[in-house]
Amino acid sequence: MPGGGGRDLLLEIKGLKTHFFTDEGVVKAVDGADFPIARGKTVCVVGESGCGKSVTARSILQIVDRPGRIVEGRILLHRESEEVVDLAAMAPTGKAIRAIRGKEIAMIFQEPMSSLSPVHTIGNQIVEMIRLHLPMTTEQARDRAAELLERVGIPQAGRRLDSYVFQLSGGMRQRAMIAMALSCRPNLLIADEPTTALDVTTEATILDLIKELQRDLNMTVMFITHDLGVVAEIADDVVVMYLGKVAETAAVDPIFHDPKHPYTRALHQSIPKFGDTQRGALEAIRGMVPHPFARPDGCTFHPRCESFMPGECDRVAPPAVVMESGTTVRCLLYGGSDGSGAVRDDAGGHAGTAGGEAGARAPGKGASGPRAADQGAAG
């Protein structure tokens, strides 16, 4: 990943831990994530469901739902004025973060209805957003809202201001939500699977739009997705997450042509290649994402890993290794197996149900006996 300091960097996530304190136990949704976001770039965060992608994004804006909260780590926002603020230290309901939400950092979601009100017109919602952050009259804000709708490709934008959300199609709703997110010219746009629910044809136009806006407005985009095709299409840098940690970060080309982490490689092998003439069986990653109460010891990917090294991977949590190519990877294949500086995490302390849950969740196909036992032992 390019850059390291100063003005090239927009956001730095350092040792972020966001945990959910449920009655059954603590779910460590994000458990020590580190990655930078370079200014003006598109960073894609990928991984299976339950890997902490969305919670990381929500942590940045301090909109983690209860009973979750940030328990450790820093989220440093580098402003153009060289000022650096720690978003993780802000109170979730405080003035400081509210001034940033929607203004400096905006977010769009998979389901537009979750961020748009069904009982207010599109225009009113955008006007409210603009007036909250910028000193404008209602008329000025309305003109700006119409401009925004036009900018995101909604036909007859002036008339659409008075539409309600239910009167728009899925793609149009997504565009309206993007218009609202852009209304205060954010430095960072966080997009949480914004195209997953859309048809490929609509997805393609929305991706084009985001690319275009990013270029024209020099905006930084953090794009969460599980679709590697989308990543190939829009990413500059890629962050691969697994079980609340970052497995690998690299520029987009090495992620596809020289992936280092076994998890990144496994993700590649499990997708059908479009236009591929060989059609043997897909190599599915064996097993599945472990239950949140039963996180494996050592490297959390080891029960599913092809390159599993007994006695090492199940014991030592891999430290981040920076490769010459600029890739950062957390895998003992690339060093750190001597245990120096590595900490054994997730050791004990789980609720008593964990072992049973692991049994119930153990996949029929991949997990053989000893592995299931491993998981049980972790609990």
Return residues touching other proteins (CB under 8 A): 48-49, 169-172, 199-205, 207-208, 226-233, 235, 252-253, 256-257, 266-268, 270-277, 279, 281-285, 288-289, 360-365
Residue among 81 and 277 whose Cβ is closer to other proteins: 277
Which CB sits closer to other proteins, 15 or 229?
229
Would you state the structure tokens that stand for residue 325, as one six-digit string?
């190519």
Minimum separation from the CB atom of position 228 to other proteins (A) = 5
Q: Is residue 106 within 8 Å of residue 81, measured between CB atoms?
A: no
Q: How far apart are CA 336 and CA 333, in angstroms?
A: 8
Q: Minimum distance between the CB of residue 277 and other proteins, rounded to whole angstroms?
A: 5
Nearest distance in Å: CB 203, other proteins: 7
Q: 296 preceded by cis ω (within 30°)? A: no
Residue number, 17 or 361, with CB nearest to other proteins: 361
Q: Tell the smallest beta-carbon distance from residue 347 to other proteins (Å).
A: 25
CB count in 10 Å sphere of residue 80: 9
Give the residues across from 17 on adjacent strands. 31, 72
Is the CB of 204 or the CB of 323 nearer to other proteins?
Answer: 204
CA neighbor of 207 nearest in space, from 220, 218, 223, 219: 223
Looking at the chain, which runs of residues are DSSP E strands? 9-22, 25-38, 42-46, 68-78, 84-86, 105-108, 188-192, 220-224, 237-242, 245-251, 321-322, 328-329
Shortest approach of other proteins to residue 35 CB, angstroms?
Answer: 19
Give the SS3 label for residue 270: helix
Q: Which is nearer to other proteins, 49 or 138 (CB)?
A: 49
CB of 61 to other proteins, least distance (A): 25
CA 322 vs CA 73, 90, 102, 318, 331: distances in Å: 20, 31, 34, 12, 11
Report how far residue 196's alpha carbon sits from residue 357's, in angstroms, rounded to the nearest whole number. Answer: 30
Give the pairing of strands 105-108 and 321-322. Answer: unpaired
| Closer CB to other proteins, 162 or 253, in the complex | 253
Question: d(Cα 32, Cα 56) in Å, to the nearest integer?
Answer: 10
The DSSP secondary-structure symbol of 86 reads E
Nearer to other proteins by Cβ, of 288 and 320: the residue is 288
**Number of alpha helices (DSSP H) and beta strands (DSSP E) in the chain:** 12, 12
Report, in Å, the least distance between residue 113 CB and other proteins.
Answer: 16
Q: Which is nearer to other proteins, 139 or 276 (CB)?
A: 276
The answer to whether residues 232 and 204 touch, using CB atoms and an 8 Å cutoff, is: no
CB of 320 to other proteins, least distance (A): 23
